[in-house]
Amino acid sequence: MPEQLIECVPNFSEGQNSDIIDQIIAEIKSIDGVKLLDVDSGFEMNRTVVTFIGNPEGIKEAAFSAIKKAAELIDMSVHKGSHPRMGATDVCPFVPVSGISTEDCIKLSEAVAERVGDELGIPIYLYEKSAKTPERVNLAKIRMGEYEALEVKLKKPEWKPDFGPSTFNPGAGATVIGVREFLIAYNVNLNTAESKFATDIAFELREKGRSARKGNIEPFYFKGQEILKYNTGSYPCGNCDYVSVKIDDLINHCQKEHNYDLVELLRANGINPEKVDGISVKKSGLFTHCKAIGWMVPEYKRAQISINLTNYKITPMHKVLEATRKLAADRGIVVTGSEIVGMVPYPALLETGKYYLRKQQRSTGIPVRDILDVAVQSLGLRDVSEFNIDERVLGLPKTKTEDLVVMKVNDFVDEVSRESPAPGGGSIAALAGALGAALASMVSNLSIGKRGSEEVEEDLKPVADKVQEIKDFLVKAVDEDTNAFNAYMAARRLPEKSEEEKKAKNKALQDGLKKAVAVPLNTAKRSAEVIDLAGIAVEKGNINSVTDAGVGAHIAYTGVKGGIFNVLINLKEIEDKKFIEEMIKACQDLDDTARKKVDAVIKRVHEKIEELMK
């Protein structure tokens, strides 16, 4: 699983005094577990937007510290700027990037909001996904009247803050906090220098759509009759001589005199009658959560469609790109590639890679890096500039340079062979399970997308996906097992001179032992899953690779047995008798089931080999 990662983008009402900005930034940078990505100050707006990422605890602390420092240094009573604002920290959005749900991120935003309100005495309003009422979802509505209207606003019951006091804080004002989706700045490149083509396509894509004005669209027909014309400044009825200057009057006329619903007809054709303006009608675009404009980029000597995707889970990059390719082709234009400005969340790029693999009828159960490479190639992200996955993808699963799993095979084997007790059997068990999963994946993928394998593909695709997930889990467990043992050894070195120290040491030892048990138990459980999946690969996969699947099942059982051994050996010093009984039973049941399954798989492998030998 990817690491838990959140983006925080606080907006501070100071863009002119660099000393104040630097002090706020210093607060953020001082917190462990966060990384500063960007600082964007606007002098005329008198506003600074800061972007940083980190784990949940780091983000919570950094956000609070920055809000506190801003309240100390910024005096809203003398603030002037062109950008709407109502507080020293005007708005503080949290964006779930990877490894954390929106619900958990909302809880985090509420915790920060409560702490700011209680400890700093700042009125807090929750917005976007954190909003408690529909009226407070929209930031602009909450901020209406800005700082100057805040004192009166706070006295109204309907504007009671979600957290903090209802009394006016003249120095800090009020702050809006909440969770929103990640915004992907995504540009599509065209093989033309004519910006009008980019603008035209942008209008088709964006949620706002385009104005269908006089002379630029075909009239609408209903039952063979023209019912709405756009060639005058009025709205004539196609069924009679009635003419109106208001679309509402024409709608009422059509319903009353001709018994049909013009509203329904217009909407069926992508037009919202509520947005008709004079002789201009808004035609909705193809995608929600999509903003787009077209422009010419002299640096690239080509036109570009500049797109903001405000919810990539609903409107992902690949869907917009494929629609753009079709719209461009209709205009005799070619999409040469695309560009991501800034960062992109790992799940967004991963899903794009999987989308193109599915289009190619290939397996998505391949290594994560391979999937991301497919996404980069398919989107054409290296068309106008370099795209480095390690630098541009937020939440990318990574390994530390000192981890065992980044060692060369011979170095790792040497490390295991030394006199130190770790890495030991637990790490090797995890590695065995991971290798078993890898072999099950290989056999599945050798059949997927191959001629003659159509009947088994749907059985093998989920196998390949699942064993890749297990493989990644068990690779991490190689180091987790060693880390758990090291934590236990650290607890053994704690002082025990006083009674309090003895109690603290004993608790640390017991907690360490239970953790040392949990890691190998999970290794055993996940390795047992591999045996089942390898069995499917034996039955459904390419018969010429049946022995590879058999090896995968057999070595996965080593992962099961090795994990169980490491659970049992660590039970001897645990004082919790009930916990010991539960672990012994769990290990026995797991071993019995896994042994029967691996025996059945191996038997089937021998039968398949005999079939080949005939």
| Residue that the structure tokens 């019951």 belong to | 157
Terminal alpha carbon distance of the chain:
45
d(CA 25, CA 357): 42
Catalytic one among 481, 532, 548, 591?
481
Find all residues with CB under 8 Å of 240, minimum gap 6, and list them.
257, 258
Parallel, antiparallel or unpaired: strands 243-244 and 235-236: antiparallel
d(CA 409, CA 431): 12
Find all residues with CB under 8 Å of 568, minimum gap 6, and list them.
583, 584, 587
CA distances to 239, 261, 277, 313, 343 from 254, in Å: 9, 7, 19, 40, 51
| Residue that the structure tokens 């669209």 belong to | 217
Find, among 533, 351, 541, the residue nearest to 457 by Cα: 541
Catalytic residue status for 481: yes
d(CA 56, CA 96): 10
d(CA 13, CA 49): 9
Phi, psi of 315 (to 5 degrees): -120, 90
Secondary structure of residue 35 in the 3-state scheme: strand
Catalytic residue status for 258: no
Secondary structure of residue 296 in the 3-state scheme: strand
Using the 8-state DSSP alphabet, how is residue 304 labeled?
Answer: E
Catalytic one among 75, 79, 83, 200?
83
Angle between helices 317-330 and 346-359 (to 10 degrees): 50
Contact by Cβ (8 Å): 570, 584: no
Q: Supply the residues annotated as catalytic.
A: 83, 481
